């Protein structure tokens, strides 16, 4: 028992230290995972604040446009320089009202997203928000790679790999912007603002890919529908030649449509001979015999 007591007397202080380090490590891991799970909720709240500020700005623009209408109406008789006409002021007011309505709808959508993220946070989701977002990004990339790697798909829809088309160029630009915002891994610690920007870029990337895919399908459909006409135009026109009536021959009847005729084929195994000149020419005097 004495060696045991000596060991405990020498190393008793390591017990509390080990327990404290383990507790600190567990708290750090738990806090980090909780922060990662709340990332989508924090991003939704950030978007809600931005939408609220945008709505306040739109309301101020509407009030300013309304005041501009009153000013234009007051100075209708003697318009001052820099003051728009009544019709222009009313158009500006209508545009401001439309922007205010759009901002109000955006705020409503952001508040709905906050409630959805709060409900999902209380659920039992296995994947973290950043991991789910990166999976959505990978799914869009996989859909686009089908047009790059599959030969039949690339031949059927060549526009999806041609950056000269506006829709494809817009998708490729959105793809570059999304990859610039993509974190290195799903465990990377990022801010709520960057998460919101990355999520918004993925939404824009999906819209751009759908637009490029629809444009490529429409182009391929037009090409397929125009292919028979193109082949018909490239085909030489069919002409019917009527042989001249020679000596002892009668001209074909002209009362009906002449059937196209083809030259007789040579027998199999024989070489076609070159046409021999006809002498004397029909309708002319015979050639005099050569003098010896």
Q: What is the pLDDT of residues 20-37, one digit of tens each?
A: 444 444 334 345 567 778
- The reported pLDDT for the residue numbered 40 is 85
Nearest Cα neighbor of 201 from 113, 133, 119 is 133
Residue 39 half-sphere exposure toward CB, CA atoms < 13 A: 27
CA atoms of 67 and 52, how far apart (whole Å):
23
**End position of a domain, from candidates 80, 108, 125:** 125
What is the tally of structural domains in the chain?
A: 2
**End position of a domain, from candidates 104, 125, 146:** 125
**DSSP characters for 209-226?**
HHHHHHHHHHHHHHHHHH
- The reported pLDDT for the residue numbered 27 is 37
**End position of a domain, from candidates 78, 97, 125:** 125
* Beta strand spans in the chain (E): none
> Quick check: bond before 170 cis, omega within 30?
no
How does residue 128 score in pLDDT terms, banded at 50, 70 and 90?
Answer: confident
- The reported pLDDT for the residue numbered 262 is 46
**Mean pLDDT score, 164-169:** 94
Asked if residue 145 and residue 112 are part of one domain, the reply reads: no
- The reported pLDDT for the residue numbered 93 is 92
**What is the residue range of 92's domain?**
17-125
Residue 134, both tokens: 């990166």
CB contact at 8 A, 49 and 111: no
CA atoms of 168 and 162, how far apart (whole Å):
7
Asked if residue 120 and residue 22 are part of one domain, the reply reads: yes
Q: Is residue 59 part of a domain?
A: yes
Asked if residue 217 and residue 133 are part of one domain, the reply reads: yes
Claim: this prediction has a pTM higher than 0.85: no
Q: Select the more confidently predicted residue: 48 or 244.
A: 48
Q: What is the pLDDT of residues 53-76, one digit of tens each?
A: 999 999 999 999 999 888 888 887
How does residue 9 score in pLDDT terms, banded at 50, 70 and 90?
Answer: low
CA atoms of 258 and 271, how far apart (whole Å):
30
- The reported pLDDT for the residue numbered 240 is 45
Q: Select the more confidently predicted residue: 79 or 194.
A: 194
Q: Is residue 90 part of a domain?
A: yes
Q: Is residue 237 part of a domain?
A: no
- The reported pLDDT for the residue numbered 241 is 47
CB contact at 8 A, 69 and 86: yes
Please give the angle made by the CA atoms of 110, 114 and 120, to the nearest 5 degrees.
140
Asked if residue 174 and residue 89 are part of one domain, the reply reads: no
Cα distances (Å, whole numbers) of residue 111 to 107, 119, 120: 6, 13, 14
């Amino acid at each position: 028992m004495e060696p045991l007591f000596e060991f405990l007397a020498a190393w008793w202080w390591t017990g509390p230290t080990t327990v404290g380090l383990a507790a600190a490590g567990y708290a750090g891991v738990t806090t980090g995972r909780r922060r990662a799970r709340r990332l989508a909720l924090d991003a939704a709240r950030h978007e809600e604040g931005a939408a609220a500020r945008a709505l306040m700005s739109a309301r101020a623009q509407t009030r300013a446009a309304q005041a501009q209408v009153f000013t234009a109406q007051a100075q209708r008789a003697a318009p001052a320089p820099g003051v728009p006409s009544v019709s222009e002021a009313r158009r500006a007011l209508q545009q401001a009202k439309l922007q205010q309505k759009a901002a109000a709808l955006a705020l409503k959508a952001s508040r709905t997203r906050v409630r959805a993220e709060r409900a999902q946070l209380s659920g039992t989701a296995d994947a973290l928000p950043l991991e789910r977002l990166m999976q959505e990004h990978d799914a869009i990339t996989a859909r686009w790679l089908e047009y790059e790697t599959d030969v039949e798909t690339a031949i059927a829809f060549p526009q999806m790999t041609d950056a000269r088309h506006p829709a494809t160029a817009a998708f490729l630009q959105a793809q570059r912007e999304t990859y610039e915002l993509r974190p290195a891994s799903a465990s990377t610690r990022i801010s709520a603002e960057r998460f919101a920007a990355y999520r918004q870029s993925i939404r824009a990337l999906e819209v751009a890919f759908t637009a490029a895919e629809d444009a490529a399908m429409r182009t391929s459909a037009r090409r397929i529908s125009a292919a028979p006409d193109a082949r018909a135009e490239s085909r030489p026109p069919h002409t019917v030649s009527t042989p001249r009536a020679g000596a002892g021959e009668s001209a074909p009847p002209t009362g009906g449509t002449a059937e196209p005729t083809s030259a007789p084929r040579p027998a199999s195994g024989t070489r076609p001979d070159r046409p021999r000149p006809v002498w004397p020419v029909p309708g002319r005097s015979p050639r005099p015999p050569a003098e010896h």
